């Protein structure tokens, strides 16, 4: 009998494992006052998320959600799932030289209004070659005489950034590793570096140039080398961005499944004045989370023929469509690579938002209104595919200045 009892005890112990929960507290409850109650339930708080008044708690699996709700001041309990957030989509066809050049137009500038940092009305072949087709398509270079995003703080919530890359190093201003705060947010996947290049690669006649080539770029690493991460890490990354006063955050990540804690984080970022730009998703279906939330600007993917990419998610939440097929940008170890996905479309809009902020526009609603006024709907696309259409940065100065 003793042997049988010992065996049963070992088997029971082997079946006990730890599960992480995001526990949201009522607004009136201070996090520090919840520690003792949670510990009495057998839980260990492993991270605080004050942005949404929540804690990440490690419980033994026999502690059920109903047990946690007995505390009374608990608003929501959710599993802190560790999931895949990014999927790269590759397409074989590269944009032709003709399709790229047809998007380049001449513009005469009134230089008496403001002395430009450089002229863009007559770009050299060398300058043109540095600008990827997507950056040309949204006419970013036609706004650079007035705004290059200088001193605008942009956070890339992703797999990190190769901050040693020659096209990113000058603009890199710091960051945070939400997976392991003792480590730097160095990219070990490539995705975040690619996104960063589209936003902020420097203008140096080498490699590529980003939409907003003078922003302050911050790496917020929330995903591992495989593009996976926990909900709490993503929320922690948003929290860091808010606490460090980012003007714009780009979230080229998504899931078919949202939760209350992620929505609360997006809402909090929006209310704090952060422009939140998100990839719509690559499953061809409904818009993914967090792009689906009202506080986010959801972006679908356009190809070089002005058609929506077949993989792009779509729906009433789409705010804009931006280049997202065969986008050439920075990669790890100082390299460059083409990639496709709404992950590549989103940073175009994040960079455009930074250009608008560089003109003195404040707050996510005001920034979005400028983007809307500058956008043109494509006649061959539905509203659920393109939202307000393709943004034209050449219109920013006139819209903001009232000309």
Tokens 């998703």 map to which residue?
Answer: 281
- Element (H or E) spanning 66, and its range? helix 65-69
Phi–psi pair at 88, nearest 5 degrees: -80, 135
Terminal-to-terminal C-alpha distance of the chain: 90
Catalytic annotation on 182? no
Q: Determine which one of 255, 300, 329, 343 is catalytic.
A: 343
Residue 387: which of 311, 293, 321, 301 has the closest Cα?
A: 321
- Check if 158 is active-site: yes
Provide the 3-class DSSP secondary structure of residue 266. helix
Helices marked H in 131-180 — which ranges? 133-137
Kindly give the pairing relationship between strand 275-279 and strand 296-302.
parallel
User: What is the residue-wise DSSP string for 310-333?
Assistant: TT---STTEEEEEE-SSEEEE-GG
Strands 82-84 and 74-79: unpaired
Catalytic residue among 80, 165, 187, 191: 191
Mutual orientation of helices 260-271 and 231-243 as an angle, nearest 10°? 10
351 near 199, Cβ under 8 Å?
yes
Among this protein's residues, is 191 annotated catalytic?
yes
What phi-psi label fits residue 146: left (phi over 0), alpha (psi between -120 and 50 degrees) or beta?
Answer: alpha
Residue among 20, 80, 158, 187 flagged as catalytic:
158
Q: Which two tokens stand for residue 389?
A: 């259409």
Catalytic residue numbers, as ranges: 158, 191, 343
């Amino acid at each position: 009998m003793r042997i049988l009892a010992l065996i049963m005890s070992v088997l029971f112990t082997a079946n006990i494992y730890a599960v992480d929960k995001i526990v949201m507290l009522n607004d009136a409850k201070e996090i520090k006052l919840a520690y003792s109650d949670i510990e009495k339930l057998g839980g260990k708080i492993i991270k605080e998320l004050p942005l949404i008044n929540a804690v990440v708690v490690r419980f033994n699996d026999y502690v059920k959600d109903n047990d946690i709700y007995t505390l009374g001041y608990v608003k929501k309990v959710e599993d802190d799932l560790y999931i895949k957030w990014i999927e790269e989509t590759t397409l074989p066809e590269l944009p032709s030289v003709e399709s790229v050049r047809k998007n380049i137009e001449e513009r005469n500038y009134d230089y008496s209004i403001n002395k430009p940092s450089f002229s863009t009305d007559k770009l050299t072949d060398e300058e043109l070659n540095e600008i990827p087709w997507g950056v040309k398509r949204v006419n970013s270079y036609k706004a650079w005489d007035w705004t290059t995003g200088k001193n605008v703080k942009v956070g890339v919530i992703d797999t990190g950034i190769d901050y040693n890359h020659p096209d990113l190093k000058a603009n890199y201003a710091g960051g945070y590793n939400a997976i392991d705060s003792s480590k730097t947010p160095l990219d070990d996947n490539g995705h975040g570096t690619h996104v960063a290049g589209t936003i902020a690669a420097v203008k140096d006649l080498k490699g590529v140039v980003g939409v907003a080539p003078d922003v302050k770029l911050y790496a917020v690493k929330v995903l591992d080398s495989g593009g996976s991460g926990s909900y709490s890490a993503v929320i922690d990354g948003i929290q860091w961005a808010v606490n460090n006063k980012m003007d714009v955050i780009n979230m080229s990540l998504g899931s078919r499944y949202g939760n209350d804690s992620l929505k609360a984080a997006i809402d909090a970022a929006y209310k704090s004045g952060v422009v939140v730009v998100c990839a719509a998703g690559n499953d061809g279906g409904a818009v993914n989370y967090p792009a689906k939330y009202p506080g986010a600007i959801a972006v679908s993917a356009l190809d070089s023929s002005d058609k929506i990419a077949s993989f792009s998610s779509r729906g009433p939440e789409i705010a804009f469509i931006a280049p997202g097929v065969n986008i050439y940008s920075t990669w790890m170890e100082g390299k460059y690579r083409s990639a496709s996905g709404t992950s590549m479309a989103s940073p175009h809009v994040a960079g455009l938002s930074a250009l608008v902020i560089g003109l003195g526009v404040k707050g996510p609603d005001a920034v979005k209104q400028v983007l809307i006024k500058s956008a043109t709907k494509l006649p061959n696309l539905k509203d659920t595919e393109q939202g307000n259409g393709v943004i034209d940065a050449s219109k920013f100065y006139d819209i903001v200045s009232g000309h």
